[in-house]
Amino acid sequence: MEERLQKILAAAGVASRREAEKIITAGRVRVNGKVVTELGCKFDADKVRISVDGKPIVQEAKAYYMFYKPRGVVTTMSDPQNRRSIADFVQNLPERVFPVGRLDFNTEGLLLLTNDGALAQALMHPSHEVNKTYLVKVPGIVPQEKLDQLRLGVKLEDGPTAPAVVNLRDYERGFTLFDITIHEGRNRQIRRMCDAIGFPVRDLKRIKLGPLQLSNLGRGKFRSLSEQELSQLRKAAKL
């Protein structure tokens, strides 16, 4: 997959993306022996030779981790407000990884961490319709007709949602627990859908991403994907 040159340099650990831009414009980067100074140039790192100051860059081996993001963590690698971020949990990993998609600050659950840009892009592309399943807890007893609204799709300010798969789990001590599966990736979508039916979310956890299931993994912990999981994930992403 072709990516911007500064992104390739950052992924190889040469420098941050912003610093990589400076290195490029300074004429220190060669691609197949030719100096490249334009920031918009794209290349497939697996098909070209890239060097900085005459030294070939070394691409990291591809890495794939399942991470259980806790509540109160931002899904970024840094935060200007000094809140806890993904970087606080993965600083000892041998590879530079990034989260695929986002979970909002107060949502916990499954995140994929990788340095495979092609897979990340495919998983997030709307046309691939990769399913994401969440466990939802809302105050009150939600009647079936309200859950049916979620199943059919609800109107939001940025347009109607696609139909969702909703499975009622339990009514528990004045709360309703249910699973909801969507394939869209709008900002805070589950919370806005529940607001639209009059039952604001109390707790929200993502428990599935495509074929991946969050199980036997503690909050703030991560593990490598198995070969079978990776194969199934690539199939879901249509790669």
User: 206-234, pLDDT tens digit by residue?
Assistant: 999 999 999 889 999 999 999 999 999 99
pLDDT of 11 higher than 80 = no
The one-character DSSP state at 82 is -
Q: Which of 79, 104, 179, 195 is catalytic?
A: 104
Share of the chain above pLDDT 70, in %: 100
Query: Any idea which residue has 């997030």 for tokens?
Result: 124
How many CA within 13 A on the CB side of residue 153?
10
Q: 64-69 and 50-52 as β-strands: parallel, antiparallel, unpaired? A: unpaired
- Within the chain, residue ranges assigned H as helices are 5-11, 17-25, 87-90, 117-124, 144-152, 189-196, 227-236
**pLDDT for position 96:** 82
**pLDDT for position 31:** 95
Strand intervals (E) in the chain: 2-4, 29-31, 34-35, 42-44, 50-52, 55-56, 64-69, 98-100, 108-114, 132-139, 155-156, 159-160, 165-172, 175-182, 203-209, 212-213, 222-224
Task: Please say whether the beta carbons of 178 and 144 come within 8 A.
Answer: no
Please give the average per-residue pLDDT across 109-133, as a whole number.
90
Please give the average per-residue pLDDT across 128-151, as a whole number.
97
Task: Please say whether the beta carbons of 101 and 90 come within 8 A.
Answer: no
The one-character DSSP state at 59 is P
Q: What are the φ and ψ backbone dihedral angles of 91, each rounded to 5 degrees?
A: -65, -20
**pLDDT for position 14:** 83
The 10s digit of each residue's pLDDT in 150-205 is 999 999 999 999 999 999 999 999 999 999 999 998 999 999 999 999 999 999 99
pLDDT of 18 higher than 90 = no
**pLDDT for position 53:** 95
Going by pLDDT thresholds of 50, 70 and 90, the confidence category of residue 143 is: very high
Q: Is 24 exposed, middle or buried (0-12, 13-18, 19+ CB in 10 A)?
A: buried
**pLDDT for position 134:** 98
pLDDT of 50 higher than 90 = yes
Please give the average per-residue pLDDT across 31-51, as a whole number.
92
Share of the chain above pLDDT 90, in %: 74
Going by pLDDT thresholds of 50, 70 and 90, the confidence category of residue 15 is: confident
pLDDT of 100 higher than 90 = yes
**pLDDT for position 192:** 98
104 is catalytic: yes
Q: What residues does 3 pair with on adjacent strands?
A: 43
**pLDDT for position 1:** 74
**pLDDT for position 49:** 94
**pLDDT, the chain, mean:** 93
Going by pLDDT thresholds of 50, 70 and 90, the confidence category of residue 146 is: very high
CA dihedral for 78, 84, 89, 91, sign (positive or negative) = positive
**pLDDT for position 183:** 95
**pLDDT for position 57:** 92
